[in-house]
Structure 1
Amino acid sequence: MSEQPIVLACEGLVKRFGGITATNDVTLRLRRGARHALIGPNGAGKTTLINLLTGVLDATAGRITLDGDDITRLAPHKRVRRGMVRTFQINQLFNTMTPLETLALVVSQQRGLGAGWWSALGRDAAVAERCAALLDQFHLAEVAQVRTEHLAYGKRRLLEIAIALACEPRVLLLDEPVAGVPAGEREEILQTVEALPAEVSVLLIEHDMDLVFSFADRMTVLVNGTVLTEGTPAEIEANPEVKAVYLGHEGASHG
């Protein structure tokens, strides 16, 4: 069976802050439909790399491509329009809006309806149908009319991922989706992440090794801004270097 085409890639990516090299010659390739995890200890450069991929930071050197097009200097919002969406970019939720209103706004903008989003929800059956489907998919239907500021933290994280999916991404960068979520609220997020559409290529940044190993089909380990290794979850778990610098410290066992 032939490999899927590469949808997102970076080649020789470097980011320097003065005399500090935060990202050092990183090359990474995300294939269509991938479930790819980016892991590494704190300070490894994961956030810097994601900020480079999404355009929040400008690269000092190297190249980023999306569907084969060079996007290295493209503005962040233009990368979103091209289908690359990051949960971290859009986690500033509107506290006074409900999940239904928030999703109606995003879906309407995505469909070019602009400022008429609320009337579109009542008038446009396609918008209402899409919102209902997202609310159901992300376990938000029962809180659809609750103001976001009153939602449990786990539900807020689910809403962030729902917003990202409402943008109809081809590439979704999930930035620590269960960070700070109480244990009792994590299961819904784990189930939702596992059930993301197969055609969406996902790059997951996460410290929760249970989530990483249950989700990923490929993993890249970043240490000190450099790619230590890449492979399948089984290869990563068995790698003595990874155990020494990361997994051993986490006390992780996923056999």
Structure 2
Amino acid sequence: MSDVVLQTHNLVKRFGGITATNNVSMTVHRGARHALIGPNGAGKTTLINQLTGVLPPTEGRVVLAGQDITGLAPHQRVGLGLVRTFQINQLFTSLTPAQALALAVSNRVGASRRWWQPLGADAAVAAEVEQLLAQFRLTEHANRITSELPYGKRRLLEIGLAVALKPRVLLLDEPAAGVPSGERHEILATVAALPDDVSVLLIEHDMDLVFSFAKSMTVLVNGTVLTEGTPEQIAADPQVKAVYLGDSLAGVRPGH
């Protein structure tokens, strides 16, 4: 069985005369901790929107676990295991973490159709919710209204909701955006501890986080793949330093 879980083949996206992604071919392997980096305007969000079905490509294909999903709607891709988070969190602020996770798990297993039961009444759903609360460091906050949570905890809840859908591939779009520096390590540690059967594609501008987390990286510049490699290779690449990283790598050591 191939260990390739997500692949793009020559993805092109044009908006009028502007080419936002240009022949992007990228491979994400099973269990990957893969980072997609590049300067603002490099085409990262456009690429993610093509992966998730928000934007149809002008040319090219997206393949998930051997299945061509280029023509599938976003919800169909989620059903096949391609799940994303967003730069700005998308949460039901009036629910508690326990309620939100129970809703996500119930929806995945079909228990949400049992509308006459209280949310989380299903024992298997309740057990999974407890496990997710612990995994995402939310047990102490389980019954707090989401709008009252510290921002870092809200980001953890969003990632927890994505993981509740049992993704094959988890796309994390700047999970540390807006999070105070003191809370970022908790997000990094939690994401790093995800099981190997969840392949992670991370978009992030925080180079400390990227180089602590990623085992492989793709650098996108002007909609084109500049290079791919390990963090060590990327950090040493003169092209990458010239067009993007520059002084931002000062003091950053891959794997630390």
Identify the TM-score tier after normalising by the shorter chain.
over 0.9
The aligned runs of 1:142-181 (5 Å cut-off) are: 142-181=140-179
1:188 CA drift (Å): 1.1
Give the TM-score normalised by the residue count of structure 2.
Answer: 0.95
Secondary structure of residue in 1 paired with 2:75: helix
Q: 1:217 matched to which residue of 2? A: 215
How many Å separate the matches in 2 of 1:154 and 1:204? Answer: 17
Gaps (5+ residues) in structure 2?
A: none
Secondary structure of residue in 1 paired with 2:137: coil
Asked if the contact 1:33–1:202 (Cα under 8 Å) also holds between the matched residues in 2, the reply is yes
How many Å separate the matches in 2 of 1:89 and 1:231? Answer: 25
Give the TM-score normalised by the residue count of structure 1.
Answer: 0.95
Asked if the contact 1:54–1:76 (Cα under 8 Å) also holds between the matched residues in 2, the reply is yes
Q: Percent identity?
A: 66
User: For 1:60, which of 48, 58, 61 is the aligned residue?
Assistant: 58
Secondary structure of residue in 1 paired with 2:243: helix
Q: 1:127 matched to which residue of 2? A: 125
How many Å separate the matches in 2 of 1:98 and 1:115? Answer: 21
Taking a change above 3 Å as real, the CA distance of residues 72 and 89 of structure 1, as seen in their structure-2 partners, is farther
Q: What residue identity is the alignment partner of 1:229?
A: T
1:137 CA drift (Å): 0.7
Taking a change above 3 Å as real, the CA distance of residues 104 and 120 of structure 1, as seen in their structure-2 partners, is same
Asked if the contact 1:113–1:120 (Cα under 8 Å) also holds between the matched residues in 2, the reply is no
Q: 2:189 matched to which residue of 1? A: 191
1:254 CA drift (Å): 2.3
How many Å separate the matches in 2 of 1:203 and 1:47? Answer: 12
Summarize deviations over 1:144-176 as a string: whole Å, max 9, x none.
Answer: 000011111101100000000000001100110
Q: 2:203 matched to which residue of 1? A: 205
Deviates more, 1:146-155 or 1:89-98: 89-98
How many Å separate the matches in 1 of 2:232 and 2:249? Answer: 16
User: For 1:136, which of 130, 134, 137 is the aligned residue?
Assistant: 134
How many Å separate the matches in 2 of 1:50 and 1:128? Answer: 32
How many Å separate the matches in 2 of 1:252 and 1:45? Answer: 25
Q: What residue identity is the alignment partner of 2:173?
A: D
The aligned runs of 1:41-56 (5 Å cut-off) are: 41-56=39-54
Asked if the contact 1:209–1:252 (Cα under 8 Å) also holds between the matched residues in 2, the reply is no
RMSD: 1.6
Q: What residue identity is the alignment partner of 1:121?
A: G
Taking a change above 3 Å as real, the CA distance of residues 70 and 55 of structure 1, as seen in their structure-2 partners, is same
